[in-house]
Amino acid sequence: GVGACSYFLISFWHTRDSAATAGKKAFVTNRVGDWGMMTAMFMAFASVGTLSYSGINEAAHAGHLAHVTATGIALMLFVGACGKSAQLPLYIWLPDAMEGPTPVSALIHAATMVTSGVFLLTRMAPVLHEAYPWAGTVIASVGAATALFAATIAVAQTDIKKVLAYSTVSQLGFMFLAIGSGAYVAAIFHMVTHAFFKALLFLGSGSVIHGMHHEQDMRRMGALRKVMPITGFTFIIGWLAIAGVPPFAGFWSKDEILLYAFANNRALYAVGIVTALLTAYYMTRQVIMVFYGEARWHDHAEDHGAHGDAHTPHESPWMMTLPLVVLAGLSVVGGALQLPFSHSTKFLEHWLAPVVEESERSITGTWAESNKWVLLALAVVIAGVGIAASVAVYAKGKAKPIEPQLLADGWRYDASIAALVGGPGRAAFRGIAAFDAKVVDGAVNGVGVEVRNASGLLRKLQNGLIRSYAAIIGVAVVLVLAWFLVRGVL
């Protein structure tokens, strides 16, 4: 599903080699994840005799799943979820998915389909609960590592969509951190709020690309808020939401995840805090490079000479800005789905209760729960530090930007995979091909060759000459007579 749909959507402009290659990468990478998911399905069916969510979850609740079996199912489901929701080590397809149309990036590869792995694991919460703590620790650790890893890469990107792509990978890591910490409601909460502000940011970037006449390099933008006021205003709302500034939606969901992470594992909480700081930093960097500072797009217009006026940035039509306004509103009020003031204001928790209530980790009575406002205040300070640092570097020029080529190249992860897997993989496949040609096909073809050689002797007898046939008949008659004589018949 995810692999096939991504293949068709990413390869929409199939005449571009980069788009076709990105589509194939998405398809193949998701096949690796599908191996894990299929393994989990076989294990579940062998254990409980059904593949329905309710049947498997009821078996887990009733204790019919052994701890080892539940752990195996949970980890294999997690492998599948890593492919579908772009977690380490299978995240590589999502950044390249930006080759597709921007509305696809907004709806499919940010807000909905790419979160299917998060939904899958949350739906199987009873199994994960039965597999606690090993499966939970693995899921939370990989989620935290992915969140931090992708955030460091986003810091050095110059393509407006690539920044958001790595940001999506990072935010998905937050959701997996929540699931591994037993905070299933927080994971879904962040999935919903993320859909609001990330779709807003992607569509906002599409509006910028449209207004900039297909330019995506942020180094050739700047000061666009003056010529694209609606796009700029709504994009800033999305920035505040993802940076974790209250009262925007991203603040409530992200910090609920950090609250559970603090109660579950302080080391993973520290990773989450650093990631939150980097998120505020690179998103502020993007806003400054695109909408503030000096207008660097004059060079883009001058490149077109007499047609330069036609390439001057402009605001997008209302059909493109109206969705931005709607999503901006949702990015402001979306946190109301799960406000932490009282139990009655947690609407999302009530809705998810039938599935996750018995599996949700309780932090009641913990230091984190009794001091949650301290942790929330710390999260606000962290967001403020990230924003201030980015402003100091990119707006005021008080420090040199830290954008090493290693980060711009994504830690050279793709190149490493190609070297470690692609090279040996090709050699192995060449060996398999040789074995197939010389041994498997050789055995089959060899039998045919020997049969053909043997039949050549008989083929020589069928030469079409009457004298040959007469000679054969004569020899046959002599042999028959000789046999009868020997047997004493004649």
Q: What are phi and psi of 421, to 5 degrees?
A: -105, -45
Establish how many alpha carbons lie within 13 A of residue 409's alpha carbon, considering only the half-sphere containing its beta carbon: 9
| Cα–Cα distance list, 355 to 42, 360, 386, 407 (Å) | 22, 9, 37, 40
* DSSP secondary structure code for residue 120 in this structure: H
For 40-187, strand residue ranges (E) read: none
pLDDT value of residue 307: 56
Among 164, 152, 243, which Cα is nearest to 204's? Answer: 164
CA dihedral 261, 262, 264, 270 (to 10 degrees): 70
pLDDT value of residue 364: 77
* DSSP secondary structure code for residue 159 in this structure: B
Contact 180, 125 (CB under 8 A): no
Residue 444 tokens, joined: 């089959």
Contact 86, 169 (CB under 8 A): yes
Among 167, 349, 183, 364, which Cα is nearest to 269's? Answer: 183
- Residues in the chain where the model's pLDDT stays below 70: 299-311, 341-343, 461, 489-490
Q: At residue 365, what is the residue type?
A: G
Residue with tokens 């590869």: 109
pLDDT value of residue 368: 84
Per-residue model confidence as pLDDT tens digits over 281-295: 999 999 999 999 888
| Cα–Cα distance list, 86 to 71, 114, 170, 214 (Å) | 21, 7, 9, 27
Q: What pTM does this model have?
A: 0.87
Cis status of the peptide bond prior to 354, with omega within 30 of 0: no
